[in-house]
Amino acid sequence: MFTGIIQAVGYIDAVTAAGNDLALSIHGASLGLTDVMIGDSIAVNGVCLTVTQRSHTHFQVHVSKETLSVSTGLTDRNAVNLEKALRLSDRLGGHLVSGHVDGVGEVLAFSNLGECWLLSVRAPHAISQYIAKKGSICVNGVSLTVNTITQDTFSMNIIPHTLANTTLNNLSAGSQVNIEVDQIARYVERLAEWPREKSEFS
Protein backbone atom coordinates (compact mmCIF):
# COMPACT_ATOMS: atom_id res chain seq x y z
CA MET A 1 0.00 0.00 0.00
CA PHE A 2 1.20 3.51 -0.87
CA THR A 3 0.15 7.15 -0.45
CA GLY A 4 0.92 8.73 -3.82
CA ILE A 5 3.46 11.06 -2.20
CA ILE A 6 6.60 10.64 -4.30
CA GLN A 7 9.77 10.13 -2.28
CA ALA A 8 12.32 10.33 -5.09
CA VAL A 9 12.75 10.52 -8.84
CA GLY A 10 15.00 7.66 -9.95
CA TYR A 11 15.65 6.26 -13.36
CA ILE A 12 15.58 2.94 -15.16
CA ASP A 13 19.13 2.36 -16.35
CA ALA A 14 18.86 -1.21 -17.66
CA VAL A 15 16.03 -3.17 -19.28
CA THR A 16 16.58 -6.89 -19.90
CA ALA A 17 14.24 -9.41 -21.51
CA ALA A 18 13.18 -12.25 -19.23
CA GLY A 19 11.12 -14.49 -21.47
CA ASN A 20 7.90 -12.56 -22.10
CA ASP A 21 8.66 -10.40 -19.08
CA LEU A 22 11.24 -7.72 -18.31
CA ALA A 23 13.87 -7.32 -15.61
CA LEU A 24 14.63 -3.71 -14.69
CA SER A 25 17.57 -2.17 -12.86
CA ILE A 26 16.54 1.11 -11.26
CA HIS A 27 18.79 3.76 -9.74
CA GLY A 28 17.11 4.84 -6.52
CA ALA A 29 18.62 8.35 -6.53
CA SER A 30 17.65 9.97 -3.19
CA LEU A 31 15.15 7.24 -2.23
CA GLY A 32 17.55 5.60 0.23
CA LEU A 33 17.80 1.83 -0.06
CA THR A 34 19.47 0.84 3.22
CA ASP A 35 16.15 -0.19 4.76
CA VAL A 36 14.86 -1.96 1.64
CA MET A 37 14.79 -5.74 1.82
CA ILE A 38 14.49 -8.36 -0.92
CA GLY A 39 10.75 -8.93 -1.37
CA ASP A 40 9.75 -5.39 -0.40
CA SER A 41 7.37 -3.43 -2.61
CA ILE A 42 8.26 -0.15 -4.32
CA ALA A 43 5.88 1.83 -6.52
CA VAL A 44 7.55 2.73 -9.82
CA ASN A 45 5.48 5.30 -11.76
CA GLY A 46 2.52 4.07 -9.74
CA VAL A 47 3.12 0.35 -10.40
CA CYS A 48 3.71 -1.84 -7.35
CA LEU A 49 6.83 -3.95 -8.03
CA THR A 50 8.75 -6.42 -5.88
CA VAL A 51 12.45 -5.89 -5.17
CA THR A 52 14.44 -8.95 -6.34
CA GLN A 53 17.95 -7.58 -5.80
CA ARG A 54 19.42 -4.50 -4.14
CA SER A 55 22.71 -2.62 -3.86
CA HIS A 56 23.51 0.70 -2.19
CA THR A 57 22.36 2.65 -5.24
CA HIS A 58 20.17 0.32 -7.33
CA PHE A 59 17.33 -2.15 -6.99
CA GLN A 60 16.08 -4.72 -9.46
CA VAL A 61 12.51 -5.77 -10.21
CA HIS A 62 10.79 -8.32 -12.44
CA VAL A 63 7.85 -6.98 -14.47
CA SER A 64 5.37 -9.52 -15.79
CA LYS A 65 3.84 -9.50 -19.25
CA GLU A 66 0.44 -8.82 -17.64
CA THR A 67 1.75 -5.74 -15.81
CA LEU A 68 3.40 -4.46 -18.99
CA SER A 69 0.09 -4.85 -20.87
CA VAL A 70 -1.83 -2.55 -18.50
CA SER A 71 0.81 0.09 -17.71
CA THR A 72 3.25 2.47 -19.38
CA GLY A 73 6.73 3.87 -18.73
CA LEU A 74 8.46 0.64 -17.74
CA THR A 75 9.99 -0.54 -21.01
CA ASP A 76 12.62 2.15 -21.64
CA ARG A 77 15.47 3.86 -19.83
CA ASN A 78 13.82 6.95 -18.36
CA ALA A 79 13.08 8.83 -15.14
CA VAL A 80 10.47 7.29 -12.84
CA ASN A 81 8.58 8.32 -9.70
CA LEU A 82 9.47 6.16 -6.69
CA GLU A 83 7.71 5.49 -3.39
CA LYS A 84 8.40 2.85 -0.76
CA ALA A 85 5.49 0.89 0.69
CA LEU A 86 3.55 2.59 3.48
CA ARG A 87 4.28 1.74 7.11
CA LEU A 88 1.33 1.67 9.52
CA SER A 89 3.01 4.44 11.53
CA ASP A 90 3.47 6.75 8.50
CA ARG A 91 1.45 9.86 7.80
CA LEU A 92 -1.12 9.43 5.04
CA GLY A 93 -0.31 12.60 3.13
CA GLY A 94 -2.01 11.65 -0.12
CA HIS A 95 -4.59 8.86 -0.33
CA LEU A 96 -4.54 5.07 -0.15
CA VAL A 97 -2.95 3.75 -3.34
CA SER A 98 -2.58 0.03 -4.10
CA GLY A 99 -0.09 0.29 -6.95
CA HIS A 100 -2.43 -1.72 -9.21
CA VAL A 101 -2.86 0.40 -12.33
CA ASP A 102 -6.43 0.54 -13.65
CA GLY A 103 -5.57 1.86 -17.09
CA VAL A 104 -3.35 4.02 -19.28
CA GLY A 105 -4.54 7.56 -20.03
CA GLU A 106 -3.46 10.11 -22.62
CA VAL A 107 -2.42 13.66 -21.78
CA LEU A 108 -4.56 16.06 -23.83
CA ALA A 109 -3.06 19.31 -22.55
CA PHE A 110 -0.53 20.53 -19.98
CA SER A 111 -0.79 24.29 -19.78
CA ASN A 112 0.66 26.99 -17.53
CA LEU A 113 -1.68 28.85 -15.16
CA GLY A 114 0.85 31.24 -13.66
CA GLU A 115 2.25 29.52 -10.56
CA CYS A 116 0.45 26.23 -11.27
CA TRP A 117 -0.14 24.02 -14.29
CA LEU A 118 -3.37 22.48 -15.58
CA LEU A 119 -3.09 18.81 -16.56
CA SER A 120 -5.90 17.35 -18.68
CA VAL A 121 -6.02 13.58 -19.26
CA ARG A 122 -8.34 11.31 -21.21
CA ALA A 123 -8.99 8.12 -19.25
CA PRO A 124 -10.02 4.76 -20.70
CA HIS A 125 -13.83 4.79 -20.88
CA ALA A 126 -14.10 1.69 -18.69
CA ILE A 127 -12.69 3.50 -15.63
CA SER A 128 -14.15 6.99 -16.16
CA GLN A 129 -17.15 6.18 -13.98
CA TYR A 130 -14.84 5.87 -10.98
CA ILE A 131 -13.41 9.40 -11.36
CA ALA A 132 -15.23 12.12 -9.40
CA LYS A 133 -14.84 15.87 -9.05
CA LYS A 134 -12.81 16.70 -5.90
CA GLY A 135 -11.99 13.01 -5.58
CA SER A 136 -8.49 11.53 -5.44
CA ILE A 137 -6.69 9.94 -8.36
CA CYS A 138 -3.18 8.57 -8.88
CA VAL A 139 -1.32 9.60 -12.06
CA ASN A 140 2.10 8.01 -12.60
CA GLY A 141 2.17 7.29 -8.89
CA VAL A 142 1.32 10.86 -7.83
CA SER A 143 -1.72 11.50 -5.63
CA LEU A 144 -3.76 14.32 -7.18
CA THR A 145 -7.18 15.93 -6.74
CA VAL A 146 -9.61 15.93 -9.66
CA ASN A 147 -10.81 19.44 -10.53
CA THR A 148 -13.20 18.58 -13.34
CA ILE A 149 -14.49 15.46 -15.08
CA THR A 150 -16.43 15.54 -18.36
CA GLN A 151 -17.15 12.18 -19.97
CA ASP A 152 -13.69 10.57 -20.20
CA THR A 153 -11.60 13.73 -19.69
CA PHE A 154 -10.48 14.92 -16.25
CA SER A 155 -8.23 17.78 -15.17
CA MET A 156 -6.02 18.56 -12.19
CA ASN A 157 -3.99 21.53 -10.95
CA ILE A 158 -0.30 20.76 -10.42
CA ILE A 159 1.45 22.95 -7.85
CA PRO A 160 5.13 23.98 -8.28
CA HIS A 161 6.35 21.62 -5.53
CA THR A 162 4.78 18.58 -7.21
CA LEU A 163 6.14 19.65 -10.59
CA ALA A 164 9.66 20.05 -9.20
CA ASN A 165 9.72 16.75 -7.31
CA THR A 166 8.12 14.30 -9.74
CA THR A 167 8.35 13.32 -13.39
CA LEU A 168 5.09 15.12 -14.20
CA ASN A 169 7.19 18.02 -15.51
CA ASN A 170 8.17 15.77 -18.44
CA LEU A 171 4.58 15.41 -19.66
CA SER A 172 3.15 17.00 -22.78
CA ALA A 173 0.16 16.48 -25.06
CA GLY A 174 0.23 12.90 -26.29
CA SER A 175 2.12 11.47 -23.30
CA GLN A 176 0.76 8.28 -21.77
CA VAL A 177 0.25 8.00 -18.00
CA ASN A 178 -0.62 5.27 -15.51
CA ILE A 179 -3.96 5.84 -13.79
CA GLU A 180 -5.25 4.29 -10.58
CA VAL A 181 -8.71 5.36 -9.41
CA ASP A 182 -9.74 5.85 -5.80
CA GLN A 183 -10.41 2.44 -4.21
CA ILE A 184 -13.52 3.71 -2.43
CA ALA A 185 -15.37 3.98 -5.76
CA ARG A 186 -14.79 0.32 -6.52
CA TYR A 187 -16.07 -0.83 -3.13
CA VAL A 188 -19.19 1.34 -3.45
CA GLU A 189 -19.89 -0.23 -6.86
CA ARG A 190 -19.41 -3.73 -5.47
CA LEU A 191 -21.77 -3.07 -2.55
CA ALA A 192 -24.40 -1.79 -4.98
CA GLU A 193 -24.05 -4.89 -7.18
CA TRP A 194 -24.15 -7.43 -4.36
CA PRO A 195 -27.94 -7.48 -3.63
CA ARG A 196 -28.66 -8.23 -7.31
CA GLU A 197 -25.99 -10.96 -7.51
CA LYS A 198 -27.15 -12.47 -4.23
CA SER A 199 -30.74 -12.72 -5.48
CA GLU A 200 -29.60 -14.39 -8.72
CA PHE A 201 -27.80 -17.18 -6.85
CA SER A 202 -30.26 -17.67 -4.00
Q: What domains does the chain contain, in order, with CATH numbers?
A: 8-84 (2.40.30.20), 103-189 (2.40.30.20)
The β-bridge relationship of strands 58-63 and 142-145 is unpaired
Instruction: State the Cα–Cα distance between residues 100 and 200, nearest whole angstrom.
Output: 30
pTM across the whole model = 0.92
Q: How far is CA 35 from CA 5, 21, 28, 59, 177, in A?
A: 18, 27, 12, 12, 29
**What DSSP line would sit under 97-131, residue for residue?**
B-S---EEEEEEEEEEETTEEEEEEEPPHHHHTT-
pLDDT tens per residue, the chain (202 residues)?
999 999 999 999 999 999 999 999 999 999 999 999 999 999 999 999 999 999 999 999 999 999 999 999 999 999 999 999 998 888 888 898 999 999 999 999 999 998 999 999 999 999 999 999 999 999 999 999 999 999 999 999 999 999 999 999 999 999 999 999 988 887 888 888 888 776 777 6
CB 85: neighbour CB atoms within 10 A? 15
